[in-house]
Amino acid sequence: MTFELTKEYLDRIQTAIDAGDETTLRADMDELYPADISGILYELDTTSARYLLSLLDKNVGAEILVNLDESIRDGFIASFTSEELAPFVEEMDSDDAVDLLNEQPVQLREEVIGLLNDREQARFIIDLLHYDEDVAGGLMQKELVKIQVDTNVNQCIEEIRQQAENVEKVYAVYVVDEAGKLLGFVSLKKIVLARKYAKIADIYEQDVVAVETYRPVTEVAEIMQKYDLDAVPVVNVQGRLLGRITIDDIVDVITEQAEDDIQAISGLSGEVEEDDTLWVRAKAQLPWLLAGAVGSLMAATVINGFQSELGKIAALAAFIPIIGSTGGNVGIQTASLIVQSLSDSSGLTYSLGQRLLRTLVLALVNGAVVGLLAGSYTLLIGEPRLFSVVGLSLLSVVLLASFMGTITPLLLNRIGINPAVASGPFITTANDLIGIGVYFLIAEYLLAEL
C-alpha cells in the first residue's frame, strides 16, 4: 500500500517532534520508505527535519539526503556541521557523495572528507571530484565488483562476498588483467552455474560495452538505452577499469533532459520550478512572452494593411484564428519530430533533401484535408467566394509551417544551439505572422475582381 501524507498525519508527527517522543517517531519511520520520509521533511521546518533525521539509521538518512530536491537540500545541508554531515556521506555511494559535496563550500567539503573513517571511500570521492558533472567520469561510482582473469569460480565467489559489502547493487562481475585493464564481464548466473574450480578465463564474456571517462552523459544515456544495460563500466583512455554507471543515475539524466526540453518547448529560459519566487518565474517567462507579443503586434500590422479586403468581405476575419493556430500546431509538431530524431544519434538519419521531401508529401496530405474541411465550412455559412481562399490558404500555411518546423531545428543544431528551443513560441509566432500574410495575399489575389 502506498503512503499518503495527510495533514492529520503531519500534525501527529509534528506533535511527536515537539514532545521529543522518539519511540513514536522511530516506530512510524520504520514503516516508511526513505522517499516517503523525504516527503515529510519537505513539510517540516529545518529544526524539526534535522531532529527527525537524527533518529534514523545513517544509511536511511544518507538515502534521504541524496534524493532530496537540490534546491531544498542546499538550504538544509547548510545547517549541518562537518561532524554531523560526515557519517551520512560515509554511507553514500561515491557518486552520490560527490554530487552532494560539490554543492557545498570548499571548506565544508574538505572537512567532511577528512572526517571520513572509511579511507577508501575518501579516496573514491577525491578521485571523482575532478571530473565535470556532465561527463561519464562525473557520473560514475567507484563501488563495483571486479575479479582478475586468472582466478577460478570459487575464488571469484569469495571476492564477491568481500567486495559486495560496499556495493549496493551487483549486476555483474567485471574481469580485469593484472594491470587493471577491463577485459570483459561474467554474469552472476554463469558464476552460480559453473563448477567451482572452473577458470574465469573460460566463462567470461569479452564483448563488453564500456564508456570512457570523457564521454558526455547524454551519450552514455543513449548507449545504455540502445543496449538495454543496467550498468556500464567506465574506463580511462588506456582501458583501465575505473568505475561504473548504474541505471538509476541514467534515469536521472534522462529525466533532467526531458524537463529541460519541455521548458524550452514551452518558452521558458533557464531552469524554473513552480515553487520559485515570482521574480525568478517572471524572468524565465518574460523573454518569450515579449517575443510573442512583438510577433502578435507585427501580425496585427499585417491585418491592418489589408483593411480593404476585410471591408469587402467581413467573413475573412472569421478564419484568421484557424490560419494562425493551424500554422503554429503544424510547426511545433514537425519541429518536435525533428528534435526527437536529432537527439537519437543511434538511429538512421536522413539527408536534408530526404527530410524536406518527406515533409512536403506529408504536408500536402494534411494541408489538403484541412483545407477541404475548412473550405466546406465556408459553403455552410453561405460564403462560397471564400472556398478557394480558405482552402488554398490552409494548404499553403501547412506547407510553410512544415518547412519551417523542419529547417529551423536543423539550422540551430548546425550552429550549436539547442534545437529544442525552436519548438517553442518562436516557431508559433513566426508561423502566425507568415500564415496571416499568406492568407491575405491569397485573398487579395483571388478576390481582386470584387
d(CA 13, CA 32): 13
Q: How far is CA 242 from CA 210, 215, 219, 220, 234, in A?
A: 11, 14, 18, 15, 6
Is 60 exceeded by the pLDDT of residue 319? Answer: yes
pLDDT at residue 345 in the model: 54
> 322 versus 113: which is more confidently predicted?
113
Domain with CATH 1.25.60.10 in the chain: 7-134
Between 399 and 270, name the one with better pLDDT.
399
- Asked if the model's pLDDT at residue 395 lies above 70, the reply is yes
List of E strands, 218-287 = 231-235, 241-246
- Stretch 393-400: mean pLDDT: 90
Sequence ranges of the chain with CATH classification 1.10.357.20: 278-446
User: What pLDDT was estimated at residue 337?
Assistant: 78
Give domain 278-446's CATH number out of 1.10.357.20, 3.10.20.740, 1.10.3370.10, 3.60.20.10.
Answer: 1.10.357.20
pLDDT of residue 133: 84
> pTM above the 0.75 mark?
no
Q: Give 421's pLDDT tier (boundaries 50, 70, 90).
A: low
- Give the pLDDT mean for 340-368: 74
The pLDDT of residue 239 is above 90: yes
How high is the pLDDT of residue 293?
Answer: 65
Closest among 228, 236, 235, 233 to 245, alpha carbons compared: 233
- Report pLDDT digits (tens) over 253-293: 777 766 666 655 555 555 555 555 666 666 655 666 666 66
At 225 the pLDDT is: 85
Mean residue pLDDT across the chain? 83
pLDDT digits (tens, 9 = 90+) for 30-58: 989 998 999 899 889 989 999 999 999 99
pLDDT at position 369: 92
Output Rg (C-alpha) for the chain, integer angstroms: 30
CATH level 2 (architecture), domain 146-246 = Roll (3.10)
- Numbered ranges of CATH 3.10.580.10 in the chain: 146-246
Pick the CATH number of 7-134 from 1.10.40.50, 1.25.60.10, 3.40.50.720, 1.20.120.530: 1.25.60.10
Query: Of 140, 145, 138, whose CA–CA distance to 161 is shortest?
Result: 145
pLDDT at position 125 is 92
What confidence tens digit (pLDDT) does each residue in 368-380 have? 999 899 888 888 8
pLDDT 10s digits, 283-301 = 655 666 666 666 666 766 7
Please state at what angle helix 46-54 crosses helix 34-43, rounded to 10 degrees. 150
Q: What percent of the chain has pLDDT over 90?
A: 34
pLDDT, tens digit (0-9, with 9 covering 90-100), for 204-218: 999 899 999 999 998
Q: Average pLDDT in the 381-396 region?
A: 88
